[in-house]
Structure 1
Amino acid sequence: MSEESAEGVRLQKALANAGVASRRVVEDMIVAGRIRVNGTVVTELGSRIHPDRDLVDVDGTAVQLDQSRRYVMLNKPTGVVSSMRDERGRADLRQFTREWPERLYNVGRLDAETSGLLVLTNDGELAHVLAHPSFGVTKVYVAKVDGRVTPQTIGRLTRGVELDDGPIAADRARLLDVSGGTSLVELTLHSGRNRIVRRMMAAVGHPVVELVRRQFGPLHLGTLPAGRARELTKVERGALLTLARRDSDAPEASARREADDSTPPGADQENQ
């Protein structure tokens, strides 16, 4: 075993390999105290790390050191189930992952009738954190619903509605458009309850006609066409990893996760 593999690699080399900056610039960052390893600021230029297990951030943003990890955004079309292999033979997610050699998995789910943003990854730890209901990752949906939604109805959604499994309130709600007999409503939620958007809108008298998820945590669907997938940018990866590490380290999240250990990760999350 080489000295490098036994003792790790120099921090500046690892960050340069990760595309953060040149080694010389990274050295300046280290001296300036802008880099943390496993939560501790490192200022020694001789510091070594193990990229496969050490967590590094620059100016508070996580850095992806393990280049074997893949992070993909998919705009899931309707008619596709959120599974890599459907036992009933329905269209599944495999068709969108063929260009990547890694075995990817979806983070959470969207039901077959819902389109929009899904994250696919081979990073099991990140998938567990972001899909588990206890972490409450924020999602933004745009729903086309029956009827003319009023400002009073928007107020009900943010104040809370009563469902058969308890009350629920949107973090934010906006009326985007009213046209003919339908309305467009934007809902921001952190709940992981099953089909929560559809149930909330039905509870206020406006059943969902079409539903799309536009945002998942720090990720925005943007102009990605339905049925297309792309790798996350370096900035997007940093934002997603920062969110996952922050939530996994939060004491209240850990307590909720332990209390909810009987629920498999993603078992009812985001199945809208």
Structure 2
Amino acid sequence: MRLQRFLASAGLGSRRACEQLIVAGRVRVNGRVAALGSRVQPAADRITLNGRPLSTQRLTYGALYKPVGYTCSNRDRHAEKLAIELLPKDWPRVFSIGRLDRDSEGLLLVTNDGELAQKLAHPRHKIPKTYEVGIRGSLTAAEMERLQKGMTIGGERMVADRVFGVRPAGETSTFQMVLSQGKKRQIRVMLAELGHEVIRLKRLSIGPINLGDLKPGKWRLLNDQELAKLSRMG
């Protein structure tokens, strides 16, 4: 197999991140500095990163309900709480596919399959993600149309695939919003452009994977059917 694929299967990140490790000269195969595009035989070759031997880990795929207040990062010295710390201690090193900001909650997919993670995160696949959004004020039909037609904010074109299920409740409203773009803080930015403050943002699904009845801070392993659907999307 190609060296960068092996590194990804060893839990070192996406294939692109692994390519950067190789280019930086940090990876050796049988004592020699590896070249990008090298092929390896994991059972026979000695592969090291910064002198540390590597081996493939069991591939793990999970769904986590990230609560508000947790940061989606494996390392962040400024973060009080990391979402990854909610997972079992005996899991291999995993990372999230995409992110949720600290003030958002809901579905987060985690894995140590760097190749699949890179495919799913690539913008060209336009994997839809569904969110439940709570705002101050009421969302009008004209505003729904504007969100779905798109808007240019700060030089970036942002558009929602679908906005539906508006439920007014006094001075607030709740609705669902589907995105396939994945711009940074896109929902908050688009609604701020319309003059609405987001008071709750919860991700309900990523492609075919649903949050379901998971509770905040809890996790589950993906089943074979879900993995097959994700693989087809990537």
Q: Please give the TM-score of this superposition, normalised by the length of structure 2.
A: 0.72
Question: What's the secondary structure of 1:230's corresponding residue?
Answer: strand
More displaced 10-residue stretch of structure 1: 221-230 or 89-98: 89-98
Q: Please give the TM-score of this superposition, normalised by the length of structure 1.
A: 0.62
Aligned pairs, number: 180
Question: What's the secondary structure of 1:72's corresponding residue?
Answer: strand
Task: Note the residue ranges of structure 1 that are not aligned, 5 or more in a row.
Answer: 1-51, 53-65, 245-272
- The whole-number CA distance in structure 1 between the counterparts of 2:225 and 2:158 is 33
Identity %, equivalent residues = 34
* 1:232 matched residue in structure 2: 222
* 2:141 matched residue in structure 1: 151
Residues 1:180 and 2:150 are matched in the alignment: no
Residues 1:141 and 2:99 are matched in the alignment: no
CA root-mean-square deviation: 1.9
Larger radius of gyration: 1
Deviation at 1:96, TM superposition (A): 1.7
More displaced 10-residue stretch of structure 1: 159-168 or 230-239: 159-168
* 1:9 matched residue in structure 2: none
Deviations 1:217-262 (A, max 9, x none): 1111111111101101121111112212xxxxxxxxxxxxxxxxxx
Question: What's the secondary structure of 2:59's corresponding residue?
Answer: coil
Q: Which runs of 4+ in 1 moved over 3 A?
A: none
* 1:124 matched residue in structure 2: 114
Deviations 1:154-178 (A, max 9, x none): 1111112231133322111114310
* Paired letter, 1:204: L
Residues 1:71 and 2:82 are matched in the alignment: no
* Paired letter, 1:150: T
- The whole-number CA distance in structure 2 between the counterparts of 1:83 and 1:169 is 27
* 1:102 matched residue in structure 2: 92
* 1:256 matched residue in structure 2: none
Deviation at 1:99, TM superposition (A): 4.6
- The whole-number CA distance in structure 1 between the counterparts of 2:213 and 2:90 is 21
- The whole-number CA distance in structure 1 between the counterparts of 2:154 and 2:165 is 25
1:195 to 185, 190, 193: 185
Cα gap change, 1:223 to 1:164, in 2 (>3 Å): same
Deviation at 1:80, TM superposition (A): 0.2
Q: Map 1:1-272; keep pairs closer than 5 Å.
A: 68-244=58-234
Q: Is the contact made by 2:57 and 2:92 (CA closer than 8 Å) also made in structure 1? A: no
